[in-house]
A = this chain, B = another copy of it.
Amino acid sequence: MITLDLILPDTRYPIHIGHGLLEQVDLLLPHLPIPKAAIVSNETVAPLYLHRLQQALGARGVACTSVILPDGERYKDWQTLNLIFDSLLAGNAERRTTLIALGGGVIGDMTGFAAACYQRGAPFVQIPTTLLAQVDSSVGGKTAINHPQGKNMIGAFYQPRAVIADMDLLETLPDRELSAGLAEVIKYGLLGDADFLAWLEQNMAALRQRDSAALQYAVRRSCEMKAAIVAEDEKENGVRALLNLGHTFGHAIEAGLGFGAWLHGEAVAAGMVLAAAASAELGWLGAADVERVRRLIAAAGLPVKAPAMPAEQWLKLMSHDKKVEAGTVRFVLLRSLGQAAIQAGLDTSLLERILLENS
């Protein structure tokens, strides 16, 4: 096991990465202010892992309740969030009862947001069960639900007390979900580490075959980069926005098709190709660079073309992006492969051209 520390102005917490961590509740116990926990999971993950976690906690005297939500991005809404609150109140959860997110990005985002709001703030811990959650969404304290008109529109910056990434849990992950997680891994190479990008090109086959050492390195490197960026800019006043590479386009795809039609990672993958294409239009990347991005994304089993949507719909959806300032969408593009930068505003004609060519 390796442990990274995310150090923030008001708090710090460990990110544990390794094997067999689910039942090592010694990692969890120091983060429970009282021996009461409420586990939030979904109907796919719960049958696999909930009982093991409950048993392990119960054996150490922790009183656990659990709530099992429907699985999928389309349930990341108020209605499903309320199921968490109903369950917390039915179980007499207190302000210091710890919420435990046992699931992927949707469960992590909703559990974190529920913890941020329950009695104005309860502790919570992330136990991510998907690659996407392990490399990205479980770290950094962004929590949210979707609004029909925009992804993650309603949420909070609210940090977990710990992140426990048990690599063994990835054994049950479907291939499509594995690929979706690789999109966020590729993102880290593209936005800030050309060496890691080259490593990914060399090791993509091993990653897709679930080579244990390769996966653990990918999780570790992604978490290191995320922790460093979040430590510098917790509330996204600057550099943290770079983590949104591919996400302005990706969120528009997710909202435009209806949440859940494409996985988040798939939408981000196509979004990163669009970002690369836009960067080439600005003269920041060459055609060969864009081709390299496309090849890596395809090698990860991810879409390189966005779904067809009218240009008007793209523009309207992107106008709700959280990075909009003074009516202008701020895009995360690539100065070079391994170096992202913000570009405020893109010509509508440029946007229409790259959308046409890449969807």
Contact = CB atoms under 8 A, between A and B. Distances in A.
Interface of A: 34, 78, 82, 85-86, 89-90, 92, 94-96, 116-121, 142, 144, 147, 149-150, 152-157, 235, 319-320, 322, 324-327
Nearest to A325: B94
Contacts of A142: 120
Nearest 3 CB-CB pairings of A with B: A89-B149, A119-B322, A117-B154
Contacts of A89: 147, 149-150, 153, 320
Contacts of A34: 325-326
A99 B95 CA distance: 28
A153 B326 contact: no
A153 B327 contact: no
10 contacts: A78-B82, A85-B153, A89-B147, A89-B149, A89-B153, A89-B320, A94-B324, A117-B154, A119-B155, A121-B235
Nearest to A117: B154
Given A117-B154, A119-B155, A121-B156, 20 more contacts: A34-B326, A85-B154, A89-B150, A89-B320, A92-B319, A92-B320, A92-B324, A92-B327, A94-B324, A95-B325, A117-B155, A117-B156, A118-B153, A120-B142, A120-B144, A120-B156, A120-B157, A120-B322, A121-B157, A121-B235
A50 to B, nearest CB: 24
Contacts of A153: 85, 89, 118-119
A147 B90 CA distance: 12
A326 B93 CA distance: 10
A90 B94 CA distance: 36
A316 to B, nearest CB: 10
A262 to B, nearest CB: 21
B95 A324 contact: yes
A357 to B, nearest CB: 28
A80 to B, nearest CB: 12
Contacts of A95: 322, 324-325
B85 A118 contact: no
Contacts of A324: 92, 94-95
Nearest to A9: B10
A147 B85 contact: yes
Contacts of A322: 95, 119-120
A152 B118 CA distance: 9
A155 to B, nearest CB: 5
A144 B118 CA distance: 10
Nearest to A116: B156
A78 to B, nearest CB: 5
A171 to B, nearest CB: 33
A199 B34 CA distance: 44
Contacts of A152: 120
Contacts of A78: 78, 82
A34 B327 CA distance: 11
A327 B95 CA distance: 11
A253 B236 CA distance: 42
Contacts of A147: 85-86, 89
Contacts of A120: 142, 144, 152, 155-157, 322
A215 to B, nearest CB: 30
